[in-house]
Amino acid sequence: MAQVKRIRRNVSGIILLDKPLGFTSNAALQKVRWLLNAEKAGHTGSLDPLATGVLPLCFGEATKFSQYLLDSDKGYETVAQLGKTTTTADAEGEVLLERPVTVGQADVEAVLPAFRGKISQIPPMYSALKRDGQPLYKLARAGEVVEREPRSVTIARLELLAFDGDTARLAVDCSKGTYIRTLVEDIGEQLGCGAYVAELRRTQAGPFTLAQTVTLEELEAVHADGGNEAVDRFLMPSDSGLLDWPLLQFSEHSAFYWLNGQPVRAPDAPKFGMVRVQDHNGRFIGIGEVSEDGRIAPRRLIRSE
């Protein structure tokens, strides 16, 4: 008997998931996509299976703007286990080295200033970065270690929240591309005892916080009661991650030409930068960039939502 192909729905928006422990970001995305029966889906940057917390999931037209969330600043809380290092720099790896923990709370607080501001990090081997088309983590599992270029990241906040003998709970606000595992590992080396990430929770991604998230269990319960359409109520507008951008509202005439790929002028436009654009009815129709001649060039368009 031939299998009937599932017809997916054309739904658009963002669901802020509190990613559960043990799930890859893609596994979490595919689960929520199934609950919505959504045609098109994408996430905004990977969280390790060990990590939980804020994971914006984009559906339909919202996937056009996922890169801007990927590039946004992030916030985390992490528990650093002192006295050990592991192959993956987190609790999922094999222990490489054990050292006695002879430091106290004051010692931890004393080394943190060196990691605030703009710092250099060497990405871990267990990461999704690619070398010659191969993810580094695949090379690491095969026992290979390759040279990685240092990268500059910014740590806007690094605060000790709690200390308990051989664990330190830290709050971190950082730029895109920051590896919390590397940060914790480097702090451990600075303390002389080593450290790895025992727990990791993302508390913020761009403008989104934990308070706005929904759990997988909540989504499943709503789906069990009302099906795919019931889950739609958790969808936020496609431009929810861009609300801090300047907003322009075009006339019906300007919106028509702009949606057909033509730059237009707007009297209240900023002198430069990216903008959110609405039509005369207040409907989000895409993002644009202010060109040197003052016109708004379309960059990513939404024709219907």
| Rounded Cα–Cα distance for residues 57 and 55 (Å) | 6
Q: Which pLDDT does position 140 carry in this prediction?
A: 58
Neighbours of 252 (CB within 10 A): 9
Q: Is the separation of the CB atoms in 68 and 273 below 8 Å? A: no
pLDDT tens per residue, range 56-95: 999 999 999 988 888 899 999 999 999 999 999 999 999 9
| Rounded Cα–Cα distance for residues 150 and 255 (Å) | 45
pLDDT tens per residue, range 229-272: 999 999 999 999 999 899 999 999 999 999 999 999 988 889 88
Residue 17's DSSP bridge partners are 55, 214
Q: What is the mean pLDDT of the chain?
A: 91
| Rounded Cα–Cα distance for residues 176 and 236 (Å) | 23
Q: Is the separation of the CB atoms in 73 and 178 below 8 Å? A: no
| Rounded Cα–Cα distance for residues 25 and 205 (Å) | 14
Residues in the chain: 305
If you write DSSP's letter for every residue of 178-196 in order, what string do you get? --HHHHHHHHHHHHTS-EE
Q: Over range 193-197, report the average pLDDT.
A: 97
The sheet with strand 284-290 has its strands ordered as 247-249, 273-278, 284-290, 295-301, 264-265
Which residue bears the tokens 């606000």? 173
Cβ neighbours for 25, distance < 8 A, ≥ 6 positions apart: 19, 43, 45, 46, 47, 55
Q: Which pLDDT does position 118 carry in this prediction?
A: 97
| Rounded Cα–Cα distance for residues 268 and 248 (Å) | 7
Please, which pLDDT band fits residue 132 given cuts at 50, 70 and 90? low
Residue 205's DSSP bridge partners are 74, 208
pLDDT tens per residue, range 134-180: 666 665 565 666 667 888 999 999 999 999 999 999 999 999 989 99
Tokens of 195: 């450290």
| Rounded Cα–Cα distance for residues 305 and 89 (Å) | 43
Catalytically annotated residues: 48
E strand or H helix at 58, and its extent? strand 51-59
Position 2 pLDDT exceeds 60: no
| Rounded Cα–Cα distance for residues 232 and 305 (Å) | 13
Report which residue type is found at 70. L
Give φ, ψ of 70 to 5 degrees.
-60, -35
What percentage of residues in the chain have a pLDDT greater than 90? 76
